Amino acid sequence: MKKIKLTHSQSEQVIDLREKGNSWLKIEKQTGIARRIAKREYDEWAARQSQQQLGEVRKEVAAQEYQLHLTLLSRMAESLLDSLTIPDPLTDLRKSDEVISRFLGRDFYQDQAAFSSQSGDRQKERRILRMNELLFKAIHDHTQKQVSWDILDTWRESRDKCIEDIEEMEKTVDVILTNILKQKEQVKIQDTLIKLHSHTLKTIGKGILLNVYLNNVMGQSSEITAMKGASLITKGTSWVVFHKDAPEEIKVTFDHEDPGGNELLAKEVTRISKWVVNNVTQDKVTLIERLRNEVKTMKDSADKLEAALNPLVLRPIILNTRCDICPV
């Protein structure tokens, strides 16, 4: 039997009456259209409506998911750039594997309720790591035609070499300082320093290392200086500043009852420290030059990645490319 088709106006009349709650019998009486045909027409319309609504919901959800995807990728890229730091001889001698591992362990999802976890810390850490590895791969996928990721490998290699060279320089400083203090005319001051504080010699070694590194590698010139207290609080004390940018804990202070002895100790430590610095810079010319080159390579690599992963550059790239976990 040929399917009876209703006109547009008939279809609208049936839908309107049914939406107002009329029974099929009443609709049949009012329109003259058989209940079976009217019901079929309405059911087909309702199915189309349902599909359309579902499509709109899916579009809305997909848009929200894509915005989240874009936000997380941008956040991760910024975090990666923040991780590409220059080693610090006193506070940061992490190898590149540890730097990247810590970067991949960061929680980028703290403000996302959908990613919250009621599990224990270890399980949550593993989950975050797996998600971050997927995100990092997604950044690679989106930017593979625009970003040379060999730059990151170059940065990692230079950082590892830089740390090895800093450790070599630290050993050199310790050896030279020890040898100088063992000389006959220095034995007395060495004994005095050891008696004052067991860690004083170690602090002096760190101060000398920092001075050599900042002056000769980073180009931040500053002399080792003996200072004498002049205020009501510092009067009678003396101390050694190894570099203007040195942290407070690297300052060696002498605050005993003899002001003259404090000043003499500070001057002697300054003299010996400068002596060590001169020896290191003369004996380790190649090492220092190598360190300068490694630092420059790290800075150049970080700058190139920052230019490529800048949010103003990265977001359009993501919008015009796809990765395996793109929501749409």
DSSP code per residue over 208-262: HHHHHIIIIIS------EEEE--STTTTT-EEEES-TT--GGG-EEE-SS-HHHH
Arithmetic mean of pLDDT, 247-274: 89
**How many residues are present in the chain?**
328
Arithmetic mean of pLDDT, 43-69: 77
Arithmetic mean of pLDDT, 104-115: 73
The whole-number pLDDT of residue 160 equals: 98
Q: How many domains does the chain have?
A: 1
Arithmetic mean of pLDDT, 207-219: 96
**Whole domain around residue 242: which residue ranges?**
183-283
For residue 196, name the pLDDT band (cuts at 50, 70, 90): low
Residue 213 lies in a domain: yes
Residue 323 lies in a domain: no
- Give the count of beta carbons closer than 10 Å to the beta carbon of residue 15: 17
Arithmetic mean of pLDDT, 140-160: 94
Residue 8 lies in a domain: no
The whole-number pLDDT of residue 135 equals: 93
The whole-number pLDDT of residue 327 equals: 79
The whole-number pLDDT of residue 194 equals: 64
**pLDDT at residue 227 tops 70:** yes
The whole-number pLDDT of residue 182 equals: 82
**What percent of the chain clears pLDDT 70, i.e. is strictly above it?**
90
Residue 180, both tokens = 């100088």
Residue 262 lies in a domain: yes
In the chain, DSSP assigns E strands to: 225-228, 238-241, 252-254
Of 88-97, 147-156, 254-263, least confident by mean pLDDT is: 254-263
Among 4-18, 136-150, 293-307, top mean pLDDT goes to 293-307
For residue 247, name the pLDDT band (cuts at 50, 70, 90): very high
Dihedral angle of Cα 99, 166, 253, 179, to the nearest 10 degrees: 150
**pLDDT at residue 168 tops 80:** yes
The whole-number pLDDT of residue 2 equals: 60
Residue 210 lies in a domain: yes
The whole-number pLDDT of residue 38 equals: 84
Separation between Cα atoms, residue 17 and residue 30, nearest integer Å: 9
Arithmetic mean of pLDDT, 145-158: 94
Using the structure block, give the residue that is written with the tokens 């209940």. 35
Arithmetic mean of pLDDT, 174-189: 81
CA 124 → CA 120, 132, 215, distances in Å?
Answer: 6, 12, 44
Share the mean pLDDT of the chain. 87
Side-chain half-sphere of 176: how many Cα atoms within 13 Å? 24
- Give the count of beta carbons closer than 10 Å to the beta carbon of residue 266: 22
Arithmetic mean of pLDDT, 76-86: 94
**pLDDT at residue 150 tops 90:** yes
